[in-house]
Chains A and B, each alone.
Chain A
């Protein structure tokens, strides 16, 4: 049995940062639209591929990030306005529809990019490892950690300090009441869909640079996101952050200390929370 050290703790934290970026989008959509968006993983992967192609074509990583966010936000718009609009309120149909969208997106990605493994190119200043406290640690992963914290702060400000944020929070609590106040809740739905999707796209490019992009990457990230949302509670930003930290750290601890039980270490606690606190740590009815 190997012991934990600083490197492993940082590994858990950086994975948690990526998972937070992806799961925060998932939890927003889940909380407000009450849709378990099973296409979220596919959006992550598609965004990653877009980010990969744009970064490769232009040689600019930031451009790749922006392009993947915009493109996947646009996909979110199409899914919401073009498909989900017609089955609004029918939970089972909504879930099945998003699952179908996931399959279609994955097959399109397979046609365009093939099944090879790609990794998004990162700028020279983020390559290599930095040395501190007697260890080597990849610069890029520290960047991911920083970005995860930045996204958390930005989302927190958006939700707590802006009108849109207030509407989203109100919508999570009671969408009908918001509508009765004369607010067009559909627009809020749409904005949330696009915001959530763009976070998946951002995660795809960020994650694609160190976890690489390949078919089925989508379902892995989706399963992690589901675990995070169940642990943290749907629609809760703080819940997503705590859930991501738990899942990221447990994943690392599991792989290092109990390699045979790697998945159990994550999903065991998830099952326990489902049984004793069905709404998650920070969820509200």
Chain B
């Protein structure tokens, strides 16, 4: 059913955009619609997450009657197939042929980086609610690439490391997918944990799409550790949790996860193997905040499932940009003015239920929850906050100037204090 709904909305959007392109020259400048190019992986390995990007984004504009500051809003959806080449080609098409006012979306870091380097040259605003590569708001900032309702990879695991220290965990092993997003998240965790006196006993790196985790889990079982920190997303996350529990490690060694590890997109098809896992994130669908619950109810009613991070981030990202367009009374023709207004703005009334603003480097500062996976009253698993770390920035407690002098995180530079 939700798929049919999705096809219908996408079909309508595509049809509407095609009609719009032909009709455009006859319409007066003032009444011209705002065109947004949304890119998401609708095919390939991360297609499920890509669909939720489109769902969250469309849901916001439908609630607003597809209007911003009185101007009609046209969303043109393109499939980036989770592939940087395709993403670049689609971004070009959206900018050069469909003449969009700004770009939105993408899911995988490599697709986002491809589009970012393209817009670096032409100044088209590009909003990235889920592209988390650290350096986009640190060492290699591009002014027109903005993380509305987004985050940097190493930002979220830091509070979790602090929390782990408070639980008295001394020895932790990490396991992560072997690519930039994983390296950066693990490093954020490892840095705070070792600086607080903890020890990272081992770091395991599995290739993306590891079908059989048993060799890794076998190693984790032998390490005599207090907890495991896991950074897996998508199918790898489901498989890891399942096999962790099959091997009897669940209940013996506590499992901590990066925010995407226990995201709805992963745990909605799982059973008790995900119960009780701790993770940290700015969004928790099980938060008792009335604004959050309102959003979760509306999303569930519309799509028949609870929102994932992808749906939430694009809903909020659309909201953030819409609020700036309202503030500019619909005039976004001057890109510099538009971008400055976004960077100075504050997101209000979002599903988070509290205002969000950017730091001086264009990355949002959030109250970050420590979340636990529990069953709700409908018998579905969701993430419930058990503790809150207020105002967590991408620089944690470090001074940005000092922090940026260090080399960027990589597989070999995990920020571990010896």
Identify the A interface with B (CB < 8 A).
2, 5, 7-8, 11, 14-15, 110-111, 114-119, 127-129, 131, 136-138, 140-141, 210-212, 214-217, 220-221, 251-252, 255-256, 259, 262
* Interface contact A212-B242, CB-CB below 8 Å: yes
CB distance from A5 to the nearest CB of B (A): 7
Give complex CA distance A116, B308 in Å. Answer: 12
Residues of A contacting B48 in the complex (Cβ-Cβ under 8 angstroms): 114-116
Residues of B contacting A220 in the complex (Cβ-Cβ under 8 angstroms): 209, 211
The interface stretch among B23-31, B154-162, B163-171, B214-222 is B214-222
CB distance from B274 to the nearest CB of A (A): 12
CB distance from A174 to the nearest CB of B (A): 38
Residues of A contacting B269 in the complex (Cβ-Cβ under 8 angstroms): 116-119
Q: Mark B193-235, 1 if CB is under 8 A from A, else 0.
A: 0000000000011110101101110110110000000000011
Residues of B contacting A212 in the complex (Cβ-Cβ under 8 angstroms): 211, 235, 238-239, 242
Q: Mark B81-111, 1 if CB is under 8 A from A, else 0.
A: 0000000000000000000000000000000
Give complex CA distance A252, B248 in Å. Answer: 19
Give complex CA distance A114, B55 in Å. Answer: 14
Residue B247 CB within 8 A of the other chain = yes
CB distance from A94 to the nearest CB of B (A): 27
Q: 12 other contacts beyond A220-B211, A255-B215, with CB at 8 A cut-off?
A: A2-B219, A5-B218, A14-B214, A111-B3, A114-B3, A116-B268, A117-B266, A119-B242, A138-B248, A211-B212, A215-B45, A220-B209
Instruction: Determine which residue in A119, A220, A252 has the highest number of CB atoms from chain B within 10 A of its CB, and name it.
Output: A119
How many contacts between A and B, using CB within 8 angstroms? 100
* Interface contact B212-A11, CB-CB below 8 Å: yes
Residues of B contacting A116 in the complex (Cβ-Cβ under 8 angstroms): 48, 265, 268-269
Residue B66 CB within 8 A of the other chain = no
* Interface contact A128-B212, CB-CB below 8 Å: no
Give complex CA distance A6, B51 in Å. Answer: 43
Q: A137-B247, A251-B212 are in contact. Are A11 and B218 (CB under 8 A)?
A: yes
Q: A111-B3, A259-B205 are in contact. Are A211 and B211 (CB under 8 A)?
A: yes
Give the 3 A-B residue pairs with the shortest CB-CB distance, closest first.
Answer: A129-B248, A115-B48, A136-B248
* Interface contact B248-A8, CB-CB below 8 Å: no
CB distance from B83 to the nearest CB of A (A): 13
A-B contact pairs, 13 of them (CB 8 A): A2-B222, A7-B218, A115-B48, A117-B266, A119-B242, A129-B248, A136-B221, A210-B246, A217-B211, A252-B214, A252-B215, A255-B206, A255-B216
Residue B243 CB within 8 A of the other chain = yes
* Interface contact B219-A256, CB-CB below 8 Å: yes
* Interface contact A8-B242, CB-CB below 8 Å: no
Residue B416 CB within 8 A of the other chain = no
CB distance from B380 to the nearest CB of A (A): 14
CB distance from B177 to the nearest CB of A (A): 12
**Contact among A5, A8, A262 for B207, CB-based, below 8 A:** A262
CB distance from B224 to the nearest CB of A (A): 14
Residues of A contacting B266 in the complex (Cβ-Cβ under 8 angstroms): 117
Residue B113 CB within 8 A of the other chain = no
CB distance from A252 to the nearest CB of B (A): 5
Q: A11-B214, A211-B212, A252-B215 are in contact. Are A110 and B221 (CB under 8 A)?
A: no
Give complex CA distance A85, B23 in Å. Answer: 51
Residues of A contacting B221 in the complex (Cβ-Cβ under 8 angstroms): 7, 136
Residues of A contacting B265 in the complex (Cβ-Cβ under 8 angstroms): 116
Residues of B contacting A255 in the complex (Cβ-Cβ under 8 angstroms): 206, 215-216
User: Which of chain B's residues 121-173 have a Cβ closer than 8 Å to chain A?
Assistant: none
Nearest A residue to B218 by beta-carbon distance?
A7
CB distance from A60 to the nearest CB of B (A): 17
Give complex CA distance A8, B235 in Å. Answer: 22
Residues of B contacting A15 in the complex (Cβ-Cβ under 8 angstroms): 212, 214
Residue B47 CB within 8 A of the other chain = yes
Give complex CA distance A191, B83 in Å. Answer: 41
Q: A138-B246, A251-B212 are in contact. Are A115 and B238 (CB under 8 A)?
A: no
